[in-house]
Structure 1
Amino acid sequence: MIALLVPTAAQAAPGAAVPGDTVTLPVRDALAQLPVRGEDRSGYERTKFKDWADADKDGCNTRAEVLKAEAVIAPEQGAKCTLTGGEWYSPYDERYIHGPSGLDIDHLVPLAEAWDSGASTWTAKEREAYANDLGDDRALIAVSATSNRSKAGQDPATWMPPAAGYRCQYATDWIADKTRWGLSVDATEQAALGEVLDSCPDVPVTVTPAR
């Protein structure tokens, strides 16, 4: 979401915002306000993030909800929210994917990276909320399985989308997602994001903190 607002005092410090507040500021300022810390992956296990929940109990889990929301041609929905047919656009590698089987739902900031950046101290419920974040459409994205598995748990210092034209959006959304969840960056990640943003408009981003 892009909006042009004059930041209030609360908006000037995203880390101090209360969940449910709205924070809007230029993306370069948002990057500058992310805390810079070293990262430690010790203790990480994917099972510590319970993903693909069915929070609204409608029979469709988080993966299915994202697929339905992001389809460019809607799939057919059968029993137990089984999806068939449909078409999706994978912005990471500029590919159209027919049928859901060729897609992964990418956590924009991977679960392992979130763990490194602060989620290791969260409760199990907070990690589940992160893994199933449907409250911000930047958090989860349907992409080709090939591109998602190439990315794995990497941050922008070691992986950026192959589609060069998408990198400004990717860096901006990464910063927004880390701001939303109060996550830190490490020094090499911060430098890599800054290098990408040097070639991008300094767009304002709007974030609703989740915790």
Structure 2
Amino acid sequence: MFSKIAAVATALVVLPLAITPASAHQLRSDALPMAAAVDLLPSAAESREGYQRTSFKHWIDADRDGCSTRAEVLISESRVQPTIELGCKVTAGQWYSFYDGVTATAPGGLDIDHMVPLAEAWDSGASAWSPERREAYANDLDAESSLVAVTDRTNRSKADQDPAEWLPPLLDARCSYTADWIATKLRWKLAVDDRERAALTEIAAGCGQESITYEAAP
């Protein structure tokens, strides 16, 4: 994967390539078995009352370098040097959509997925956050698991569903997907309801080799 090393300044730019609940939200966790990580998730009933997608301002240019969050993810996740036009418009690269195992070379068929969808985050605790914290969540570039480039069809199939309702169609992706889901919820101290916890526990039982690390969000 490649990282952006400078702001776009010309018409065409190519860029190079055993823990207790009390310590659950330390700055950075040790590697946790998936089942142990599930146990750390807080429980709460979910409510979508008052939710609007506009409550989460996203695809901003947080560092004011000319590239939106969407562009930043595309640049970071490209497996080859991405081509970027004036205005930080990413026009070519190579992306692996791990939900369905598809490799794409044009960004037009890709969505940037919030690992834990905005509506699900709202249901799970973000409804009580400030607008600034919701904006930080929706544009979280500091954890690789938070945002991911995937084919638009799988992202739209997922919609706002949790792992009790939707898992990636590629079977080999399900353990890593669930690990990323759990890490994101732990990072942002988001809760799970009973049905979601049961699904995560069942998945974790079949993913014995998967471990989870996360860094608590500021």
TM-score normalised by L of structure 2: 0.88
Are 1:72 and 2:79 an aligned pair?
Answer: yes
Inter-partner Cα distance in structure 2 for 1:137 and 1:33: 20
Are 1:125 and 2:132 an aligned pair?
Answer: yes
Q: What stretches of structure 1 move > 4 A for 4+ residues in a row?
A: none
What RMSD in Å do the two structures reach over aligned CA positions? 1.5
Corresponding residue number in structure 1 for 2:7: none
* Of 14, 17, 20, the match for 2:24: 14
Inter-partner Cα distance in structure 1 for 2:209 and 2:197: 16
* Of 32, 54, 64, the match for 2:39: 32
Corresponding residue number in structure 2 for 1:102: 109
Are 1:42 and 2:49 an aligned pair?
Answer: yes
Corresponding residue number in structure 1 for 2:216: 209
The DSSP-based 3-state class of the residue aligned with 1:143 is strand
Corresponding residue number in structure 1 for 2:170: 163
Inter-partner Cα distance in structure 2 for 1:148 and 1:205: 23
Inter-partner Cα distance in structure 1 for 2:151 and 2:157: 10
Displacement after TM superposition at 1:75 (Å): 2.2
Inter-partner Cα distance in structure 1 for 2:35 and 2:204: 7
Are 1:23 and 2:29 an aligned pair?
Answer: yes
The DSSP-based 3-state class of the residue aligned with 2:46 is coil
Q: Deviations over 1:81-110 (max 9, x none)?
A: 011121211010111112110000000000
Moved more, 155-164 or 199-208: 199-208
Structure 2: which 5+ runs fail to align? 1-17
Are 1:149 and 2:149 an aligned pair?
Answer: no
The aligned amino acid for 1:124 is P
TM-score normalised by L of structure 1: 0.90
* Of 55, 60, 64, the match for 1:53: 60
Inter-partner Cα distance in structure 1 for 2:65 and 2:171: 38
The aligned amino acid for 1:14 is A
Corresponding residue number in structure 1 for 2:70: 63
1:31–1:202 distance in 2 versus 1, CA, 3 Å: farther
Moved more, 108-117 or 191-200: 191-200
8 Å CA contact 1:13, 1:33 repeated in 2: no
Corresponding residue number in structure 2 for 1:3: none
Corresponding residue number in structure 1 for 2:202: 195
8 Å CA contact 2:34, 2:207 repeated in 1: no
Inter-partner Cα distance in structure 2 for 1:155 and 1:90: 19
Give the count of matched residue pairs: 200
Displacement after TM superposition at 1:26 (Å): 2.3
Inter-partner Cα distance in structure 2 for 1:106 and 1:36: 24
Displacement after TM superposition at 1:12 (Å): 5.4
Corresponding residue number in structure 1 for 2:96: 89
Moved more, 112-121 or 22-31: 22-31
Structure 1: which 5+ runs fail to align? 1-5
The DSSP-based 3-state class of the residue aligned with 1:80 is coil
The percent identity for this pair of structures is: 50
